[in-house]
């Protein structure tokens, strides 16, 4: 119950930050073009630095084993999620199936999961979340592209290993193993930049929601069903599966938190790029993001 209460409190904080983004868009302070640049700033600067600084820890066997367990649980999570996705979209038109598959398989673990993990568990939460985020990025730019385009895109595969997120994790892991610590004059500004990740990420999420036609979105029954699968069914299946594993509860909870996050905004960008229904993808993002205000604390209650 305490974890659920903490999560609810942190969720409400996130909501207020997102509302600041909504108001910024509605009052004309920012527009779609500015929001895209803000989104790029989060993805290419704030989040990578946050991930890197999470590895600036003293090396201990328990942290190393915890990171290994996180990798294994992340792989297991995506295997289960992939199976559920195949069942849910199997009767859909091919184009809509592609949009739905990518949307409900890849959560917003970067924009929302990392800030939540940081808010609830601190640096350790981000440390363990990196495994899920790294695997999600790798699969999104490989499997996600194949699903959306219907073919292998070699250029996109190269982006996996050159993305700031993956580079930050690789350097972070190396520094962790070699115990390379940043001097205070560098560490302090890095931490200050890392602390900007949560407010900026949530404001971007709010701006994205503000751009959606919510009245039209709330009339689509299919969106409720997909949000239910994404936000309730998938995490509950993983909770049942992880319950029997002799693993640290913090690690298991971080994995559940990552899978409980709403649909990622990248699905909309992919849909636009590959000629799929980008509006539908944005509606999935908006619906699941709004409902996650209730469902994420609910999932933490079961953890």
User: What's the structural domain count of the chain?
Assistant: 1
Query: pTM for the whole thing?
Result: 0.79
206 in a domain, yes or no?
A: yes
- In a domain? residue 191: yes
pLDDT tens-digit map of 134-192: 888 888 878 887 888 777 666 666 666 777 888 888 898 899 889 899 998 999 999 89
Cα separation, 6 vs 59, in Å, equals 28
Of 2-11, 82-91, 163-172, 293-302, the one with minimum mean pLDDT is: 2-11
pLDDT level of residue 71 (50, 70, 90 thresholds): very high
In a domain, 39, yes or no: yes
Q: Within a domain: residue 244? A: yes
- What percentage of the chain has pLDDT greater than the value 70? 94
197-213 mean pLDDT: 80
**Residue 1, pLDDT score:** 58
What pLDDT is attached to residue 144? 84
Whether 221 is covered by a domain: the verdict is yes
Mean pLDDT computed over 206-225: 83
56 in a structural domain: yes
Q: Which of 13, 19, 9 is nearest to 209 (CA)?
A: 19
Mean pLDDT of the chain: 85
> Would you state the pLDDT for residue 157?
64
Answer positive or negative: Cα dihedral of 81, 110, 283, 159: negative
Q: Are 127 and 54 in contact (CB under 8 A)?
A: yes
pLDDT at 160: 66
**Residue 303 belongs to some domain of the structure:** no
Domain extent, residue 252, equals 2-296
3-class DSSP state of 31: coil
Helices (H), the chain: 2-26, 32-41, 47-54, 61-89, 94-105, 114-121, 123-139, 145-149, 154-162, 164-178, 184-194, 197-210, 214-217, 221-228, 234-242, 249-260, 266-273, 278-302
CATH for 134 = 1.20.1530.20
Contact in structure between 255 and 77 (CB atoms under 8 Å):
yes
Question: What is the average per-residue pLDDT within 229-240?
Answer: 95
Q: What is the mean pLDDT of residues 259-270?
A: 81
Q: What are phi and psi of 92, to 5 degrees?
A: -85, 155
- Please state, in angstroms and rounded to a whole number, the distance separating the CA atoms of residues 294 and 297: 6
Residue 302 within any structural domain of the chain:
no
Tokens of 212: 């959606």
């Amino acid at each position: 119950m305490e974890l659920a209460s903490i999560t609810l409190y942190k969720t409400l904080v996130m909501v207020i930050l997102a509302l600041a983004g909504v108001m910024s868009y509605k009052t004309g302070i920012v527009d779609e073009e500015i929001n895209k640049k803000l989104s790029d700033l989060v993805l290419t600067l704030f989040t990578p630095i946050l991930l890197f600084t999470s590895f600036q820890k003293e090396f201990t066997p328990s942290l190393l084993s915890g990171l290994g367990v996180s990798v294994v649980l992340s792989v297991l999570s995506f295997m289960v999620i992939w199976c559920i996705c195949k069942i849910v979209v199997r009767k859909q038109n091919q184009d809509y199936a592609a949009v739905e598959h990518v949307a409900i398989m890849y959560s917003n673990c970067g924009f929302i999961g990392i800030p939540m993990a940081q808010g609830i568990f601190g640096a350790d939460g981000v440390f363990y979340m990196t495994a899920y985020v790294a695997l999600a990025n790798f699969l999104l730019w490989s499997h996600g592209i194949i699903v959306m385009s219907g073919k292998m895109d070699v250029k996109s595969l190269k982006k996996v290993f050159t993305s700031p997120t993956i580079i930050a994790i690789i350097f972070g892991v190396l520094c962790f193993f070699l115990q390379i610590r940043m001097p205070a004059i560098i560490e302090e500004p890095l931490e200050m930049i890392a602390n900007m990740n949560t407010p900026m990420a949530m404001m971007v999420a709010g701006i994205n929601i503000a751009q959606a036609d919510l009245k039209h979105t709330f009339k689509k029954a299919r969106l409720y069903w997909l949000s239910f699968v994404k936000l309730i069914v998938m995490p509950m299946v993983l909770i049942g599966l992880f319950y029997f594993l002799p693993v640290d509860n913090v690690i298991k909870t971080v994995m559940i938190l990552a899978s409980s996050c709403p649909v990622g905004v990248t699905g909309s960008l992919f849909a636009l790029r590959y000629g799929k229904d980008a509006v539908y993808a944005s509606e999935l993002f908006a619906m699941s993001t709004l409902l996650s205000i209730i469902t994420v604390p609910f999932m933490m209650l079961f953890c």
